[in-house]
Chain A
Amino acid sequence: SAVISQKPSRDICQRGTSLTIQCQVDSQVTMMFWYRQQPGQSLTLIATANQGSEATYESGFVIDKFPISRPNLTFSTLTVSNMSPEDSSIYLCSGNRGETQYFGPGTRLLVL
């Protein structure tokens, strides 16, 4: 299985601030994704992180709110900007390895 790590594992933030989540994957991962999972809900794809270029965002998600970087093959960051309580969620990094997709442990974010 692919090794995917994320940090921080959890955080409590104030409204209006920003949080950057880091994701590290092993070298056999090709594509990287960022998901959001709101309480009691399934996974919603935020964007595909593209190495060395702008991420590809899904409908409803914009770069100004969720800037994503992927400076190399094995590292990506997701920033949740100008946070509001509605951003309270689990944020998951994911990567494809061959035909399968793996997930990191998630970052649990609470915005007060």
Chain B
Amino acid sequence: QKEVEQDPGPLSVPEGAIVSLNCTYSNSAFQYFMWYRQYSRKGPELLMYTYSSGNKEDGRFTAQVDKSSKYISLFIRDSQPSDSATYLCAMSASYGQNFVFGPGTRLSVLP
């Protein structure tokens, strides 16, 4: 079993839809969770950061962590074509340590 699993997609949705992106993990020590967005031919861009369990909202984006289920989610409301990218989840057990990355989900938002 991989340490972090993520559905690779591709996921295609119409503009305006609510998108749910998910990751599962096996290491119960993980407590720092991040979501990155990566456009084609670009480096990953930090989108959301969450510590421990709970929800965090930033504009159209909501990150959710359920440590009891070892499951994290990123919700995108009112999705736009500009949201079309690959979304990577990443997690770490310790402050300042390297993060373990999921394989990424490729999202296409169709106008």
Residues on A lying within 8 angstroms of B by beta carbon are 1, 30-31, 33, 41-43, 45, 48, 92, 96, 98-106, 108
Contact = CB atoms under 8 A, between A and B. Distances in A.
Given A99-B96, A101-B92, 10 more contacts: A42-B102, A42-B103, A43-B101, A45-B98, A96-B98, A98-B96, A101-B98, A102-B46, A105-B42, A108-B41
B49 interface: yes
Contacts of B43: 92, 103-106
Contacts of B96: 30-31, 96, 98-99
B49 A43 contact: no
Nearest to B4: A42
Contacts of A42: 88, 101-104
B45 to A, nearest CB: 7
B63 to A, nearest CB: 13
A45 B3 CA distance: 14
B46 A106 contact: no
A41 B8 CA distance: 10
A96 B34 CA distance: 13
